[in-house]
């Protein structure tokens, strides 16, 4: 496509000139300083999240392992825990100790998994914000 | 890309970028500079992924074009030249600019046509390059240029 001469001359004759380039660059540098600060803050938060993630994983593995080993090492017919006082409610707890412990452990594992998935999603989201897309 | 490297390249290109955006904003210097700053921050944050060696200006223009379109999408657009004439007298238009008619005529064009016309006539890009910057097909750019040129010539009585 050929250029329209009259339009081209009009555009070129009116090419804008800027006499405030230094002020513009100074303002840009200030914005970039602010962006760097936020970026560093977000990266520090991501590092903290990662540490929390590793800590939760290690604690979960150790406590889960100990509980499972303890459960497997005790005879099936023997309750996992007993109480000194014999009342109806406490007896029921002691008789169902194995089932209750398994349920509590399962809930703990589920909660741990949900937390880990949540943390991973947060880290991804923050990385996306730090990485910024062009459009 | 380091920050120093980025700043060095921007110092060379900022006038062309601001000029492009000044035309897209139809002479509103304050708005154009604000969009330019936003676009440059976005470019800085994306500079790690910048791979188009030697085509920094086109890459910046692409980001600036997208930032401008996003900005326009969040603002009310005006179509009629009469309304534009009223608006421009109230905005912080470039006071030193003597020929407001071109800005007023540009204001009547849709943002995409305005981009294509500005890139073609002011910045000297060819159709293929404009298509890459505006992420449109070459046919679409040709149509935008043709429609924009006819409309500008009519408004400016060229």
Q: Which residue has the higher pLDDT, A49 or A32?
A: A32
Long-range Cβ contact pairs of B31-39 (< 8 A, separation 24 or more): B31/B71, B31/B91, B31/B92, B33/A24, B35/B64, B35/B67, B35/B68, B35/B71, B36/A24, B36/B64, B37/A24, B37/A27, B37/A28, B37/A31, B38/B67, B38/B71, B39/B63, B39/B64, B39/B66, B39/B67, B39/B68
Chain A nearest-CA residue for B22? A16
Residues of A in contact with B42 (CB under 8 A): 132, 134
Separation between Cα atoms, residue B91 and residue B140, nearest integer Å: 32
Q: Which range is least confidently modeled, A2-11, B53-62, B76-85?
A: B76-85
Separation between Cα atoms, residue B11 and residue A17, nearest integer Å: 14
Binning pLDDT at 50, 70 and 90, where does residue A133 land?
Answer: very low
Q: How close A106 gets to chain B, by Cα (Å)?
A: 43
Cβ contact (<8 Å) for A18 and B15? yes
Does the pLDDT at position B140 exceed 90? yes
Cβ contact (<8 Å) for B121 and A3? yes
The CB density around residue B40, as the number of other CB atoms within 10 Å, is 26
Extract the tokens encoding A66. Answer: 């100990």
Binning pLDDT at 50, 70 and 90, where does residue A99 land?
Answer: confident
Q: Which of B36, B46, B149 sits opposite A4 (nearest CB)?
A: B149
Chain A nearest-CA residue for B23? A16
pLDDT for position B87: 53
Angle CA B136–B138–B142, to nearest 5: 105
Tally of residues, chain A: 135
Chain B nearest-CA residue for A39? B45
pLDDT for position B79: 46
Q: Which range is least confidently modeled, A73-77, B81-85, B97-101?
A: B81-85
Residues of B in contact with A126 (CB under 8 A): none
pTM passes above 0.80? no
What would the pLDDT profile of B29-38 be if each residue is shown by its tens digit? 999 999 999 9
Q: How close B45 gets to chain A, by Cα (Å)?
A: 6
Q: Which range is least confidently modeled, A109-118, B4-13, B132-141?
A: A109-118
Does the pLDDT at position A103 exceed 80? yes
Does the pLDDT at position B84 exceed 90? no
Binning pLDDT at 50, 70 and 90, where does residue A51 land?
Answer: confident
pLDDT for position B99: 61
Q: Which of B7, B99, B142 sits opposite A14 (nearest CB)?
A: B99
In this prediction, residues B112-140 reach a mean pLDDT of 92
Does the pLDDT at position B100 exceed 90? no
In this prediction, residues B134-152 reach a mean pLDDT of 93
Mean pLDDT of chain B: 84
In this prediction, residues A2-11 reach a mean pLDDT of 85
Binning pLDDT at 50, 70 and 90, where does residue A65 land?
Answer: confident
């Amino acid at each position: 496509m050929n250029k329209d001469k009259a339009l081209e001359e009009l555009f070129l004759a009116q090419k804008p000139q800027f006499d405030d380039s230094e002020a513009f660059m100074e303002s840009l540098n200030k914005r970039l300083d602010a962006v760097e600060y936020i970026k560093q803050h977000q990266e520090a938060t991501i590092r903290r999240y990662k540490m929390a993630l590793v800590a939760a994983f290690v604690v979960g593995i150790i406590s889960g392992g100990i509980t499972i080993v303890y459960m497997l090492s005790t005879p099936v017919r023997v309750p996992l825990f007993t109480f000194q006082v014999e009342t109806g409610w406490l007896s029921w707890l002691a008789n169902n100790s194995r089932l209750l412990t398994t349920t509590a452990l399962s809930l703990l594992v589920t909660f741990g998994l949900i937390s880990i998935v949540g943390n991973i999603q947060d880290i991804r989201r923050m990385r996306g914000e730090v990485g910024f897309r062009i459009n | 890309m380091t920050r120093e490297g980025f700043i060095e390249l921007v110092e060379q290109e900022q006038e062309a970028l601001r000029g492009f955006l000044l035309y897209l904003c139809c002479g509103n210097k304050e708005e154009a500079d604000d969009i330019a700053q936003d676009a440059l921050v976005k470019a800085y944050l994306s500079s790690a992924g910048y791979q188009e060696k030697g085509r920094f200006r086109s890459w910046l223009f692409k980001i600036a074009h997208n930032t401008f379109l996003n900005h326009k999408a969040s603002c009310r657009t005006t179509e009629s030249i009469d309304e534009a004439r009223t608006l421009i007298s109230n905005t912080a238009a470039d006071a030193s600019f003597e020929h407001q008619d071109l800005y007023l005529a540009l204001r009547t064009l849709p943002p995409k046509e305005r981009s294509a016309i500005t890139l073609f006539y002011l910045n000297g890009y060819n159709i293929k390059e404009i298509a890459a910057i505006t992420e449109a097909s070459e046919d679409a750019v040709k149509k935008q240029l043709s429609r924009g040129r006819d409309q500008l010539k009519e408004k400016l009585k060229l």
